[in-house]
């Protein structure tokens, strides 16, 4: 190994502890992160990446992922072959370790720079002017009841198929083309949602993605909002808008869910509105179930027959894909979230209800 090349690799590896130090500093200074990164540096980065990748009709992220897996497999086979025929196996092994560390360092630094620092911005409630405070079970029951009433009303206005399940007349592509409308409308009240980004894209291997339990993925290296095309139609608009929230720099899952609800609610089309309210109802009712099962059972009786059919279909749809792959993905996702200071892990999604309650009280 040549010395100059060795120095370059060592320098690249040393970027990792520097990036981790910056990450810690920003974690303890959310106001600085919000002002300097999330509102100043990230917007042009996110817009540039998403609009460039948006020139392709298919997901560049998916292509890069499959290419990366193929490249890693080929590299590993080559490493084993070189190690087998090498006279100095220790040097070959050290060379491979340095290459792995360089790859990890570069990938993680790019992740933080291109999007990851958004995890440490100020809470969404601050930007919206909401006050998060403790709420009673009575507050949660009232919220859930109100959401159910609105969801029932909207369900009566959407189309359904022969099985009585809500469907999107415009299909997957139509939903993607219309998704921006909610963000444009909401941005007149909250300018933080302004911006022109590339449209969401469907995942080619969506059926395989179902086995992981994943409805959508944001890929920070290309700025693409990737969506599972097989997600039931009534959840599709809110899923698209969730990934678009990540695209706009809102990294936390619970906040992306709330933004999906807000933007669907602000949308001019009733199918988007229904999807947003159904999402909010599911989270509110799931939380109520944890604290007051009897009230939960009473409120489920308020569901319209159409809502009941949709919820049953959603459960049955995901149940067919349950298995070890989904369990593994949940553990990986939990570890990923915790590594980004989301200390509640996958269970941080439940905090969306705090935002729903804050919005309800704010009215």
- The pLDDT value given to residue 230: 97
Q: Helix/strand/coil (H, E, C) string of the chain?
A: CCHHHHHHHHHHHHHHHHHHHHHHHHHCCHHHHHHHHHHHHHHHHHHHHHHHHCCCCCCHHHHHHHHHHHHHHHHHHHHHHHHHHCCCHHHHHHHHHHHHHHHHHHHHHHHHHHCHHHHHCCCHHHHHCCCCCCCCHHHHHHHHHHHHHHHHHHHCCCCECCCCCECCCCHHHHHHHHCHHHHHHHHCCCHHHCCCCCCCEECCCHHHHHCCCCCEEEECCCCEEEECCCCCCCCHHHHHHHHHHHHCCCCCHHHHHHHHHHHHHHCCCHHHHHHHHHHHHHHHHHHHHHHCHHHHHHHHCCCCHHHHHHHHHHHHHHHCCCCHHHHHHHHHHHHHHHHCCCCCHHHHHHHHHHHHHHHHHHC
CB neighbours of residue 47 within 10 Å: 17
pLDDT by residue (tens digit) across 263-282? 999 999 999 999 999 999 99
From 127, 144, 251, select the one nearest 192 (Cα to Cα).
Answer: 127
Residue 305 and residue 325: Cα distance in Å, rounded?
A: 33
- The pLDDT value given to residue 331: 61
- The pLDDT value given to residue 350: 59
Contact call for residues 222 and 49 (beta carbons, < 8 A):
yes
Q: Where are the domains of the chain?
A: 3-120, 124-362
- The pLDDT value given to residue 32: 96
- The pLDDT value given to residue 135: 86
- The pLDDT value given to residue 340: 62
The tens place of each residue's pLDDT in the chain, 363 residues long, gives: 455 788 888 899 999 999 999 999 999 999 999 999 999 999 999 999 999 999 999 999 999 999 989 988 888 887 777 767 776 667 767 878 888 899 999 999 999 999 999 999 999 999 999 988 888 999 999 999 999 999 999 999 999 999 999 999 999 999 999 999 999 999 999 999 999 999 999 999 999 999 999 999 999 999 999 999 999 999 999 999 999 999 999 999 999 999 999 999 999 999 999 999 999 999 999 999 999 999 999 999 999 999 999 999 999 999 999 877 555 555 655 555 555 655 543 333 358 999 999 999 887
- The pLDDT value given to residue 342: 53
- The pLDDT value given to residue 74: 86
């Amino acid at each position: 190994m040549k010395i100059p090349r060795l120095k370059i690799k060592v320098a690249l590896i040393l970027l990792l502890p520097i990036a981790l130090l910056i990450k810690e500093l920003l974690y303890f200074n959310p106001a600085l992160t919000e002002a300097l990164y999330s509102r100043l540096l990230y917007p042009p980065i996110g817009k540039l990446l998403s609009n460039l990748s948006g020139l392709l009709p298919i997901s560049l992220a998916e292509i890069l992922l499959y290419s990366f897996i193929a490249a890693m497999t080929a590299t590993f086979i080559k490493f084993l072959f070189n190690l087998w025929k090498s006279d100095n196996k220790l040097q070959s092994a050290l060379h491979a370790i340095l290459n792995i560390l360089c790859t990890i360092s570069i990938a993680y630094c790019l992740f933080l720079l291109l999007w990851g620092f958004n995890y440490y911005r100020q809470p969404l409630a601050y930007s919206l002017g909401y006050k998060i405070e403790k709420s009673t079970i009575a507050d949660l029951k009232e919220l859930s009841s109100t959401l159910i009433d609105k969801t029932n009303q909207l369900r009566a206005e959407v189309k359904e198929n022969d099985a009585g399940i809500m469907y999107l007349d415009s299909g997957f592509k139509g939903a993607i083309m219309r998704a921006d409308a909610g963000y444009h409308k909401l941005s007149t009240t909250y300018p933080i949602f302004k911006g022109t980004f590339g449209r969401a894209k469907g995942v080619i291997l969506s059926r395989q993605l179902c086995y992981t339990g994943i409805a959508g993925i944001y890929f920070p290296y290309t700025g693409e909002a990737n969506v599972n095309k097989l997600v039931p139609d009534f959840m599709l608009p809110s899923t698209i808008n969730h990934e678009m929230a990540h695209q706009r720099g809102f990294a936390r899952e619970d906040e992306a869910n709330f933004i999906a609800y807000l933007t669907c609610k602000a949308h001019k089309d009733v199918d988007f509105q229904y999807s947003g309210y159904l999402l909010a109802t599911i989270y509110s009712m799931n939380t109520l179930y944890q604290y007051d099962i009897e009230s939960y059972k009473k409120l489920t009786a308020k569901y319209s027959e159409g809502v009941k059919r949709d919820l049953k279909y959603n459960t049955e749809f995901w149940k067919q894909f349950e298995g070890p792959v989904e369990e593994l993905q949940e553990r990986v996702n939990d570890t990923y979230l915790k590594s980004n200071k989301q200390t509640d892990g996958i269970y941080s999604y439940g905090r969306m209800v705090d935002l729903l309650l804050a919005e309800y009280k704010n009215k």
